Amino acid sequence: MSRIRLQGLTRRFGQVTAVDDVWLDVADGEFLVLLGPSGCGKSTLLRMIAGLLEPSGGRVLLDDADITHAPPQRRNLAMVFQGYALYPHLSVARNIGFPLRARRLPKAVVRAKVAEVAAMVELTGLLDRRPRELSGGQRQRVALARALVRDPGAFLMDEPLSNLDAKLRATTRAEIAALHRRLGATVVYVTHDQVEAMTMATRIVLLNEGRVEQTGTPAEVYDEPASVFVARFLGSPPMNLLDATLHAAGSDLVARAPDVEVALGLDGAGLPDRAVTLGVRPEHLGFAPRGNAPFRAEVMSVENLGGEEVAHCRVGSAQVSVRGARPLGVAPGDRVGLSARPGHLHLFDAGSGRRLV
């Protein structure tokens, strides 16, 4: 498979800079997920790699060859879109074989290759059907097979699961991840769905307003978000974030906010007081005797998620959620203490939103 390098890739639409100076190396065999909210530039970036959109600046390299201005059909990349774009009047077999017939390969070769990829995505019994006679998930697999049949250097996928219902999305997600492991394929995959990103990616690139906000493995971006933006984007419910101030207290550093006094276990001697955003994930908070608990809270509501519960609490004027195994053992109106699991507090600069610790 191939590796892809983006060097200062930029795309402007009039006044809008959709992709802003993106530098990125996609290694051979990597499953790279471009993740971010609507409008952050994911599709624009992918379309420039595919050759469907001309960059305003920067370069795209495929295995060291500069393909920035090469037409899409010369790039040896296969694209899978959310709409599948199947030919309705052609059978499944002819849809899958289309890229090979376009290359004028002998019929016997096309037939053998179609049979091979159809088996890979479990479509063997459906080769004579038309797309309208298939379920959404099966159509999605045909689109995948049509990409696979070309033996491309890399796969580019733009929200390929977004037309599927939740259950089918979960199974297809697992199928794509398994297929990736089996083939060792290089994949660049666009989504705004954090679960897709966390479960399939070998590396996640979080985009914010056209810029790379953070790159890392799923565990790295979840456990050590580089900014408030990343911390808010990943996790459900999202990370609790409180405006606080840092003070040196003896040899320790303390974060204070209304109803909050948290010792951080960090040496802050000599540090001037400063404004910070204190972050802690809902699953890292637990209930504690109120006495001198680091957070003093009032339970507002409790949500039952089946195996778990989420308690929505008020701490000072902030909202804080606590997630844990059901039952949490608290009820609305309870006045409780909260403590954070050691090593799971995050500190961000209040001004820039960048991670401090």
Which of 44/172 has CB closer to ligand ATP?
44
User: What span, in angstroms and rounded, lies between the C-alpha atoms of 291 and 314?
Assistant: 17
> Contact with ligand ATP (CB under 6 A): which of 2, 44, 68, 186?
44
Annotate each residue in 181-200 with x if it binds ligand ATP (CB under 6 A) or - if it does not, as one string: -----------x--------
Which of 36/216 has CB closer to ligand ATP?
36
CA geometry: angle at 12 spanning 209 and 45, to 5°? 60
Q: Segment near ligand ATP (CB under 6 A), from 11-19, 168-176, 280-288, 310-318? A: 11-19
Taking the complex as a whole, the smallest distance from the CB of residue 169 to ligand ATP amounts, in Å, to 16
User: What span, in angstroms and rounded, lies between the C-alpha atoms of 189 and 35?
Assistant: 9
16 contacts ligand ATP (rule: CB under 6 A):
yes
> Contact with ligand ATP (CB under 6 A): which of 43, 95, 186, 277?
43
Q: Segment near ligand ATP (CB under 6 A), from 21-29, 31-39, 76-84, 282-290? A: 31-39
What token pair was written down for 245? 């101030």
What token pair was written down for 125? 């019994």
Which of 213/309 has CB closer to ligand ATP?
213
18 contacts ligand ATP (rule: CB under 6 A):
yes
292 contacts ligand ATP (rule: CB under 6 A):
no
38 contacts ligand ATP (rule: CB under 6 A):
yes
> Contact with ligand ATP (CB under 6 A): which of 24, 26, 35, 40?
40
Q: How distant, in Å, are the alpha carbons of 55, 109, 132, 152, 355 from that of 92? A: 35, 17, 10, 20, 50
Q: Which string of DSSP letters, residue by residue, matches 305-339?
A: -SSEEEEEEEETTEEEEEEEESP----TT-EEEEE
> Contact with ligand ATP (CB under 6 A): which of 2, 6, 32, 41?
41
**Residue 243 in 3-state DSSP?**
strand
Sign of CA dihedral 285, 322, 357, 315: negative
**Residue 22 in 3-state DSSP?**
strand
Residues that bind ligand ATP (CB under 6 A): 13, 16, 18, 36, 38-44, 192
